[in-house]
């Protein structure tokens, strides 16, 4: 029997799919939830829409796992040859010469990209282009990813330009990053961020290493905590963060949560006493919390409420 929380998650996933707009008939996607595990079923128009649906569902608070059972619908029978021709046309229309030069083989509805691109970001962009073709079930890369001839690569002029190049590469790859800090020093890219998985963390590093002009990458990438973690303290910390998100009075971006043997330690900075009290109250209500230690700093000690800015006691 579905719990009330599962029904709430189901509604939020359905709403997120519709609001995002990347899945054309999102209202026809069937969403089932059991114990925070989301099952997506039904039909979509392309591999890109299927991937987008899975990514959107995974970002909804409370979702522990996404099983993407969506199938790609084709109007009538589309042959592999027709899909390959459509993919080749789509690549040729790209504004990147390296992507325009790529080849495609399609076998049983699955596209295989062939050729060479200088960066991982270009590889991801090519996969997105081909994946968006109606009827394409999946896209696999056989690309040789490396630097092209020096005269074909535009090199950044300084660290500011290199930072811009790096940010653009990550944006094109479509990786979900939270609390991102990105900068360059003497050709070395530094990044601090939260990612959804170890796989995403590795992709971020590979993409940045592929940016022309990057000498090295120094990354501090934290995998966002999961309520399904085998570590009980890690799982409890994730539940507290989720509770703060649902409550809405204090952002988890302001309050840092750490847990040791079921004791929750709250730190960070908030604007007023009410915000501090709200964070402590929410954490105390989470099942499994034995004690809450409040180390939150109030930045505006003379303001009583966060919605009373400018009113002084």
CA 226 – CA 97 distance, rounded (Å): 41
pTM exceeds cut of 0.95: no
In CATH terms, the fold of domain 4-72 is: 3.30.1340
Buried b (16+ CB within 10 A) or exposed e, 57-76: bbebebbeebebebebebee
Confidence of residue 157 (pLDDT cuts 50, 70, 90): low
**Matching fold, domains 4-72 and 154-223:** yes
- Is the pLDDT score of 255 beyond 60? yes
Please state the domain extents for the chain. Answer: 4-72, 80-145, 154-223, 232-298
Q: Report the SS3 class of residue 138.
A: strand
- Is the pLDDT score of 303 beyond 50? no
Q: What architecture is domain 80-145?
A: 2-Layer Sandwich (3.30)
Per-residue pLDDT tens over the stretch 197-246: 667 778 888 888 888 888 888 887 766 666 766 778 878 888 888 888 88
Per-residue pLDDT tens over the stretch 6-50: 888 888 888 888 888 788 777 778 898 888 888 888 877 777 788
Q: Using alpha carbons only, what angle is made at residue 115 by residues 109 and 120, rounded to the nearest 5 degrees?
A: 90
Q: Which residue has the tokens 């790209």?
A: 94
In CATH terms, the fold of domain 154-223 is: 3.30.1340
Q: Return the CATH number of the domain spanning residue range 232-298.
A: 3.30.1340.30
């Amino acid at each position: 029997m579905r719990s009330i929380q599962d029904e709430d998650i189901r509604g939020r996933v359905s709403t997120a799919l519709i609001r995002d707009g990347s899945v054309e008939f999102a209202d026809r996607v069937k969403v089932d939830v059991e114990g925070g595990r989301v099952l997506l079923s039904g039909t979509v128009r392309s591999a890109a829409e299927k991937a987008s649906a899975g990514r959107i569902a995974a970002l909804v608070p409370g979702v522990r796992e996404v099983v993407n059972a969506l199938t790609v619908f084709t109007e009538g029978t589309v042959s592999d040859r027709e899909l390959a021709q459509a993919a080749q046309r789509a690549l040729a229309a790209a504004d990147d010469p390296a992507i325009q030069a790529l080849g495609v083989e399609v076998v049983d509805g699955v596209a295989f990209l062939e050729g060479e691109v200088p960066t991982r970001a270009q590889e991801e962009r090519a996969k997105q282009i081909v994946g968006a073709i109606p009827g394409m079930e999946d896209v696999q890369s056989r690309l040789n990813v490396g630097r092209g001839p020096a005269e074909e690569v535009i090199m950044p002029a300084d660290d500011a330009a290199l930072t811009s190049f790096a940010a653009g590469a990550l944006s094109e790859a479509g990786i979900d990053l939270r609390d991102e800090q990105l900068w360059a020093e003497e050709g070395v890219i530094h990044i601090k961020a939260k990612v959804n998985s170890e796989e995403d963390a590795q992709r971020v590093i590979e993409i940045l290493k592929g940016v022309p002009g990057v000498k090295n990458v120094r990354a501090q990438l934290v995998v966002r905590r999961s309520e399904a973690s085998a570590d009980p303290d890690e799982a409890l910390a994730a539940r507290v963060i989720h509770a703060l998100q649902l409550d809405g009075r204090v952002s988890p971006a302001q309050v840092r949560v750490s847990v040791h043997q079921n004791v929750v330690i709250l730190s960070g900075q908030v604007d007023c006493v009410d915000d501090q009290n709200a964070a402590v109250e929410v954490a105390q209500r989470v099942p499994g919390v034995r004690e809450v230690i409040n180390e939150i700093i109030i930045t505006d000690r003379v303001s009583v409420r966060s919605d009373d800015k400018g009113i002084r006691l």
